[in-house]
Structure 1
Amino acid sequence: MKSAVETLSPTRAKLTVEVPFEELKPSLDAAYKAIAQQINVPGFRRGKVPPGVIDRQVGRGAVLDQAINDALPKKYVEALQENSLEPLAQPEIEVTKLEDNELIEFTAEVDVKPQIDLPAYEGLEAQVEDIEISDEDVDEQVAALRERFGTLADVERAAAEGDFVVLDLKAMKDGEVLEGAEVTGMSYQVGKGGMIDGLDEALVGMSAGDEKTFTSSLVGGDLVGEEVEVAVSVSQVQEQELPELDDEFAQLASEFDTSDELVADVRKRLGNGKRLEQAAEARDAVLEALLEKVTVPLPESMVTDELNARRQNIEQQLVMAGISMEKYLEDEEQTQEEFESELDRRVRDAVAAQFLLDEIAKKEELGVDQQELSQHLIRRAQQSGQDPQEFANHMFEHNHIPDLVQEILRGKALAVLVESATVKDASGEVLELKNLQPDGTIMETPAEDSTEEPADEAPSEDAAEDSTEDSTEDAADKA
């Protein structure tokens, strides 16, 4: 077999491959054998029909087609290896010459990983913001903890923001209740949001026994974007009564004896969380510093696929959060064009970062052992809410293990970058960044359990832009 490569662009190559007929013989023999099992020819037992008879009965062309379809993928892979090409997508293959009993020639155009001249990546410098823990931050967490131990009491007045109501609700289109759009006896906090547009505004001022109908736009389902009539009735209005922040509450909600100790622990935990956020910011800043040192050619097909995947992921998360794209853009103070431009930049940085980290992993001769792969499989399964064994089985069955290995290698390459970098906060203090896990995520220092965890905050709408994927992309998203 002979092969030659033509570089069409930094990220696309064209292979021309000549295969002598003698190398096609195993595939030809297999084709004749398979066809012999499928046809009935008088005078011959099934499976024992000679090639010459098959040529007359079925046609030599059909045999050649089957043999070529069998052989070309293998010869394509051999040609990639001969020319040290790493494909990024499925090739466009065309048979350009077929001389029976002589040779077959085919071409294959494919996107390939670009050749990158790695810049110096040790000792990169970056800066992050200082850690700030305000009294307001502490008060907010303490208030959330108090709310967990709060009680609800019925009140004989109209509902106001922050009150709880027990409501019945149904959404209707053309007078018919929509499937899955009816709830009964639901407790809901006025002003919390995230359920249906216009609900909070409708509830303010309603008393027990009141009913109201308003118009809203659906943000999910088959009728997304369509106007519907929403009927809501309130059976109870309840006011939340919070416990006093005193020593008795501290003993109820934590292992501490005094409220001062409880508040100090909340401040300490906030500090731990802020340090993790700062470490993640440092990781992103170091990767950004590397991206600024080199221009990486990007295959547009790969960028387009990733853009579409991320856009779809964002839309799905917004639907799950009950937020329309228009509301999201309004809250982010972005136009659709600005959103698309920012998403395009983030995707291009993420793809470029992957190529750079792959090259660093090669240069550093990084590897992945079985324990690291197992831990990564478990982590990915937890992220997707799946059983680890079922997730692992799926990955093996669909040949996704190489992708997971590459994710780990990129995380290790990112750790090499960060641990050799000098990152300072705004005050000039050098950060200690030796706590990266093999997948590139930040490892939290274990802390003794003390205060019960504060109530979870509602996820910010910024979270809609995060992909569920690997830490490399998370870092590059901010690069």
Structure 2
Amino acid sequence: MKSAVETLNPTRVRLTVEVPFEELKDSLDAAYKKINQQVTVKGFRKGKIPARVIDQRFGRGAVLEEAVNDALPKFYTEAVNEAAVNPLGQPDVDITELKDGETLAFTAEVDIRPAIEIPDYSGIEVTVDAVEVSDEDVEKSVEELRERFASTNPVERAAAEGDIVTIDLEAKVDGEVLEDGVASGVQYTIGSGELIDGIDEAVTGLEADGEATFTSELKGGSAEGKESEVTVKVTAVAARELPELDDDFAQMASEFDTLEELKADSRKRLENMKQYDQATQAQERVLDELLKLAEVPIPEKLLEDEVNTRKHNLVNHQLAQMGIDLAKYLEIQGKTEEEFDAETEEQAVKGIKTQFILDELVNREKLNVNQEELTEHLMRRAASSGMSPDQFAQAVVEGGQVPMLVGEVARGKALAVVVEAAKVTDSNGEVIDLEDDEDEAETVEGAVDGAADDADDADADTDKNADKNEA
């Protein structure tokens, strides 16, 4: 077999292949055998029809077509390996010559992973928010904990903001009660804004058995968007009582003996959270700078598939679960379809560029993934999917997605290499050394892993689009 490769552009090649006819022998034998099992000829047992009879009855052309279809993937793969290209998706194949007993010639055009030159990323500099925890932050954190331990007690007075009322609701449109417009025993915290507009004003000042009527535009249900006359009846009023902020509260709400110890722990937890946010911010900004430095040609077909996949997932999964269509989503977002398409394409381009660059870094830095790293990544993925680790692992294995998970971990490690080489300064002008402090290094590692996971959520679609039709 002879083959040659022609570069059409940085992301597409044309392979020209010539195959001596004798190399089709195995495929010809298989074609005759297959046809033998499918047809019946009087005077011959099934499967024992001579080749010459098949040629006479059904035509040599049918046999050749079957043989060529069987052999093409093998010859194409050999040509790809000989040319040392990385194909993406299915090739466009054109048989240019087929002479019985002489030769088979064909061309195959296919998108490829572009050759990428990784730029010198050691000079990347980014600025991130400083880790600062104020006394107000600590007080807010303790107050939120206090809210969780609030008790609710019935009261015999008019309802006020912050109270929890039990209510019955009835909504009418054009004087008719809606089928889905009646609810009983609903508990609502006044001022929370969790129900329809106007409910807070209607129930404030009502005692148990009090009733009020108001109008409101319905935000959902069968009469969504219509003006409705809503009748609300208060059946019970309860007040929330917060525990005193003292040592007794600290002992009840935590493992600590004193309120001061509880506040100190809250400060430490807030610092850790802000360090994690800082590390995430660092990797996002470092990645953005890396993408600016690198020239990455984008295969047109891969980009088209990626955009379509993102739109499909949004419409058929995320929005479908919310019960809205794309038009309603765009209305809520205040975007035109053109703006949405442009943003989706921009995100797709970034996802593809990120994957290509990090994959190249993995190869250049010879980064490997061990079993422990893969297991930790699988556990995180399982937690985010809502599945148990065993269920998630089984789904991954059955779906043949283990290589994709390995790629995700490897890209996370590649991104960590770039982040560690960058100069990161906080908003106070302090240089953040991501390697010196062990606790902070672990925080950064987790943030980078998490960011790589987020990127891979998008890039997984790129992987699928690139590989699902790969020969």
User: Is the 1:218–1:227 contact (alpha carbons within 8 Å) kept by the matching residues of 2?
Assistant: no
Q: Secondary structure at the match of 1:298?
A: coil
How far, CA to CA, are the matches of 2:58 and 2:157 in structure 1? 87
**Counterpart residue number, 1:297:** 297
Q: 1:325 maps to what in 2?
A: 329
* Alignment-derived partner of residue 465 in structure 2: none
For residues 12-37 of structure 1, give each alpha carbon's deviation from its aligned partner in whole angstroms, at most 9, with x where no partner exists. Answer: 22223233322222222222212212
Read off the aligned partner of 2:398 and give its amino acid letter. Answer: E
Q: Look up the match of 1:205.
A: 202
Relative distance call for 1:339 and 1:59 in structure 2 (3 A) is: closer
Other structure's SS at 1:105 match: strand
Q: Which residue number corresponds to residue 370 of structure 1?
A: 371
Q: Give the AA of the match of 2:407.
A: Q
Are the counterparts in 1 of residues 275 and 443 from structure 2 also a CA contact under 8 Å?
A: no
Cα 1:157–1:36 change in 2 (3 A) is farther
Q: Which has the larger radius of gyration?
A: 2
Does residue 216 (structure 1) correspond to residue 227 (structure 2)? The answer is: no
Does the residue aligned with 1:6 lie in a helix, a strand or coil? strand
| Matching of residue 19 in structure 1 with residue 24 in structure 2 | no
Aligned residues: 443
3-state SS of paired residue (1:418): helix
* Distance apart, 1:285 and its partner CA: 1.8
Secondary structure at the residue paired with 2:296?
coil
Change (3 A) 1:338 1:36: closer
Q: Deviations over 1:368-407 (max 9, x none)?
A: 2333333333332222122333333333333322222221
Give the structure-2-normalised TM-score.
0.80
Report 1:144-155 matches (<5 A).
Answer: 144-155=144-155
Match of 2:108 in 1: 108
**1:395 & 1:148 partners in 2: Cα distance?**
38
Equivalence map 1:327-476=2 (5 Å): 329=333, 341-434=342-435, 441-442=446-447, 470=456
Partners of 1:20 and 1:437 lie apart in 2 by 59
Structure 1 residues 42-441: aligned runs within 5 Å: 42-155=42-155, 162-167=162-167, 177=179, 185-192=185-192, 199-206=196-203, 207=206, 209=209, 210=211, 214-218=216-220, 233=232, 234-311=234-311, 313=313, 316-317=317-318, 325=329, 329=333, 341-434=342-435, 441=446
Q: For 2:227 and 2:23, how far apart are their aligned partners in 1?
A: 67
**Structure-2 change in CA distance of 1:56 and 1:336 (3 Å):** closer
Partner of 2:42, secondary structure, is coil
C-alpha distance in 2 between matches for 1:215 and 1:189: 20
Aligned letter for 2:396? M
**What CA distance in whole angstroms lies between the structure 2 residues aligned with 1:47 and 1:172?**
75
- Residues 1:439 and 1:270: Cα distance change in structure 2 (over 3 Å): closer
Structure 2, unaligned stretches of length 5 or more?
A: 461-471
The structure-2 alpha-carbon separation of the partners of 1:401 and 1:228, relative to structure 1 and needing over 3 Å to count, comes to farther
* Aligned-residue offset at 1:143: 2.1
Contact kept, 8 Å, 1:414 with 1:472, in 2: the verdict is no
CA distance in 2, matches of 1:374, 1:420: 27
Offset of residue 271 of structure 1 = 0.6
Distance 1:394 1:202, change over 3 A: same
Following the alignment from structure 2 to structure 1, what is the Cα–Cα distance between the partners of residues 171 and 32? 64
Q: Which residue of 2 aligns with 1:461?
A: none
Moved more, 341-350 or 128-137: 341-350
Q: Secondary structure at the match of 1:91?
A: strand
* 8 A contact 2:202–2:212 mirrored in 1: no
Cα displacement (A) at 1:352: 1.2
Residue-by-residue CA offset, 1:103-158 (whole Å, 9 max, x unaligned): 33333332221111221123532221212323343233222211111122334566
1:170/1:119 Cα in 2 relative to 1: closer, same or farther (>3 Å)? farther
Distance change in 2, residues 1:91/1:162 (3 Å): farther
Instruction: Answer whether contact 2:171 2:182 (CA < 8 A) is retained.
Output: yes
- 2: CA distance, partners of 1:377 / 1:383: 10
Aligned pair in 2 of structure 1 residues 35, 472: CA closer, same or farther (>3 Å)? closer
TM-score normalised according to structure 1 size: 0.79
**2:359 counterpart letter in structure 1:** D
Residue identity matched to 2:58: V
Q: Does structure 1 conserve the Cα–Cα contact (< 8 Å) formed by 2:171 and 2:177? A: no
**1:456 alignment partner in structure 2:** none
Letter in 1 for 2:456: D
Q: What's the offset of the Cα at 1:312?
A: 5.1
Query: Which SS does the other structure have where 1:244 is aligned?
Result: coil
1:412·1:439 contact (CA, 8 Å) conserved in 2? Answer: no
* Paired residues of 2:218 and 2:224 also in contact (CA < 8 A): no
Shift of 1:278: 0.4
Letter in 1 for 2:447: I
Counterpart amino acid of residue 368 in structure 1:
V
Identity of aligned residues (%): 47
RMSD of equivalent CA atoms: 3.8
Unaligned runs of 5+ in 1: 445-465, 475-479
Counterpart AA for 1:131: V
Alignment check: 8 A CA contact 1:360 1:413 kept? yes
2: CA distance between counterparts of 1:65 and 1:183? 68
Q: CA deviation at 1:270?
A: 0.5
